[in-house]
Amino acid sequence: MPSKDSATIQGTADSELTPETILEIGKTLGMQYKYVTIGMNMHPSSMMVFSSLVAGLTSAGASVRNAGILPSPAIPFATENTDCCVMIGNPDDSDRVSGLSFMNTDGRYFNGPQMFTFRNRLYKDKSLPDYTQVGSARVYNGAIDKYCKKISDFVGVSDCQVVIDCASDSPATAVPVIMKRIGADAMTVSCQSDLKPHGTWANPEEYNIRTLAKIVRANYGSIGIALNNDGTRVAAIDEKGEPINGDILMQLFIKFLQPRKIVVPIDTTMAIGQEMKGMVTMCKLGSESLGETVKSANADMGMASDGTFIFKTNSFACDGIAAAAMLTRMATETSLRDLIVGMPKYCREEVTVKYPANREIIAKKIATRVNELEYKGLSATDGWRVEMESGWFLIRFSDFENEIEIKVEGTEKIYTAGLMEIAKDIVSQSIRASQ
């Protein structure tokens, strides 16, 4: 289940996301926002979710703009003169009923306070207007064209061979148009709109990326790109058919675009700070915080190792499609493989530790023990990220269970193991002291 601050509501049609529940969601949203844009992916359940949501919104007196099937990063281009937007679909899980992602008109996901207000009102009694004040729903067809033009202008000219997997979903409505406009020699895979869930994940470790890599190796000189089901995340394969690690992918964008200021999650590799010549701001984990911080910090970009990229020039939406197009521009000017050579790779370890219910006491104990260390830097944006001489460790409470996450990175394996022991000792001592 998502955390209480998550801007996405997910579930199954027979439990969490029944049509009746979606109807209530629509009523709640419609009483707070009077003009709402809705987009969706191609999952078979999306139309059911859409119909129930529109019924709830219009019954509450809201007007609905139906942007149709489109990738998530395109929805801000359909929001002119509306108050918010909803994207229907599960970007990384096609085996469940389509979920609902709540977004501001500039592409940012709803933040914590917005979702708190929404959830607080969800199951309360509602006084709906009479039939004379029922809202309306109208179709809007221009979002994809506006989005494709924006991304094409952003990227410029590309002359690159690329094999691109559109996940047989909403990215297929925009990617071929963008690739043609920028001049890329694109071979599309899973680009048919067959309304069947394929479940492509933009993750280099996933099996489907290995299949894409075989196609890339069979097409000499090509690069490979895979998008998730709603176009918010991207994975890449270099000219040798090797998947590009998420940390390396971030470094590629920094090296090529040379941004003035970026935002990254608090568990990001220290290689980013070494590669970045400008300012790096760290935010909480999650796409909600990434977009919010890019805007508040006036940063040029936001990025994460899971293939999430935000380009302020376009919008504050997570935009794997824009990142994919920019990758073809990179590969036009130089080999991705050559850029990757020499980029630092560090040792990482992760563990989780169960803890009892007294979270606040444990947190105070952890903070005390962290402050007793001799460290180079400390960030408490989301837990405690402690910078040491040749590495760092992060201690944070999980969003989902009574677990504490420990993440460690170091220049050498032995040093990394030592940092892990320090972090585990801090956590275990803090748990014991709280009992």
Residue 309's domain is classified under what CATH number? Answer: 3.40.120.10
Question: Where does a domain end: 283, 307, 340?
Answer: 340
Contacts of 374 (CB under 8 A, 6+ apart): none
Q: Which two tokens stand for residue 333?
A: 């000017």
pLDDT value of residue 27: 96
- The mean pLDDT values, 10 residues at a time, for the chain of 435 residues are 69 75 96 97 92 97 97 97 94 74 97 93 89 95 97 96 92 96 94 58 59 92 93 94 94 96 97 90 95 97 96 97 98 94 92 92 96 95 96 94 95 97 97 90
Q: How many domains are contained in the chain?
A: 3
Token pair, residue 149, equals 């033009």
Q: Which two tokens stand for residue 85?
A: 């937007």
How does DSSP assign 232-247, residue by residue?
SBEEEE-TTSPBPPHH
Position 211 scores a pLDDT of: 85
Kindly report whether the global pTM for this prediction surpasses the value 0.75.
yes
Q: Which residue among 340, 367, 394 closes a domain? A: 340
Residue type, 234: V
The distance in angstroms from the start CA to the end CA of the chain is 28
Name the pairing type of β-strands 261-265 and 279-283.
Answer: parallel
Contacts of residue 211, defined as CB under 8 A and 6 or more positions apart, other chains included, come to: none
Q: Which domain holds residue 395?
A: 347-434
Whether residue 336 is found in the same domain as residue 378: no
Going 241 to 242 to 246 to 250, the CA torsion angle's sign is negative
Do residues 70 and 175 share a domain?
no
Q: Which of 141, 168, 196 is the last residue of a domain?
A: 141
Residues 365 and 234 in one domain: no
Please report whether residue 238 resides in a domain.
yes
CATH number for the domain spanning 415: value is: 3.30.310.50
> Distance of CA 335 to CAs 31, 239, 381, Å?
53, 7, 37
